[in-house]
Amino acid sequence: MRKLVGSILILAAIGGIVSCGKETDTPDEALLTDYFNLAPGSQVNYQLDSIIKAPFQDTSFIVRSYEARDVVDAEITDNLGRKSWRVFRSLRPLGSSSESAWQVSDTYMITPTLSVVEVIENNLRFQKLIAPIRDGKEWKGNSYINAVPGEELAYLYNWTYRYQDIDASHTSFEQVIPNTITVQQQDDELNSAGLGPLDPSQNGYRVFSKEIYAKGIGLVYKELIYWDFQSPATTGNEYPNGLKEGGGIRMQVLSWK
């Protein structure tokens, strides 16, 4: 009898461990794809503000705004044999209602697995979301990118992604969107240049990036700004006011279906 009771207790304990494992893993695995809509034909429209260097200016930037439309095209397979989805991005002038004004500008790929959602754009592989989704959880989302200090992609070097504001609401153009998560990707600066007027006597830089995802929609907000400033003491007579180079992008959701 004692052996029987012992066996029952052991089996119950094993069953409890297995049950707990399922309760812990399954919601996290489901949450990753919940924050996207990968049905072919689904689309999200944004106001896209492109921050670019002002022509013939050493330190100034300008903003050019468009309407962007991301449309899930089809299920495909990536070069590792994983199920992925191809997405087309098109642009047209902000405020236009002409369907013929859309021009395809980019194609990118979304690859969701049980543990990570990867996005490949411009041949750069980002780990956008990972499991489990927990407030404060961190990971190196740009670890597959060869971001070498001093070269073109240096601003992407060694970013630490962090979850915050889990299940918070997000407001975009007076639309309140529930059940979102924020991924703070990078917030780094030198010379306090991102918080106030740039000190023209000192070199400085600014890198800031974050994205917000909503359940059943996907990306609803993106902000990226990066620049590097070399003071006149560094640039000499060639750039008497210094030289500021970089760029950025801001995307705010307009509609989805």
**Considering the entire predicted model, what is its pTM?**
0.85
Q: What is the pLDDT of residues 125-182, one digit of tens each?
A: 999 999 999 999 999 999 999 998 888 899 999 999 999 999 999 999 999 999 999 9
Amino acid at 127: Q
Widest CA span of the chain, in angstroms? 94
SS3 label, residue 104: strand
Sheet holding 243-256, edge to edge: 124-130, 116-121, 103-112, 83-93, 61-77, 43-53, 243-256, 218-230, 204-214, 175-190, 161-172, 138-139
Phi then psi dihedrals of residue 234, to 5 deg = -90, -40
Q: Show Cβ contacts of residue 43 under 8 Å, excluding neighbours closer than 6 positions.
A: 69, 70, 71, 72, 256, 257
Q: Which residues pair with 168 in a beta bridge?
A: 180
Q: What is the pLDDT of residues 83-138, one digit of tens each?
A: 999 999 999 999 999 999 999 999 999 999 989 999 999 999 999 999 999 999 99
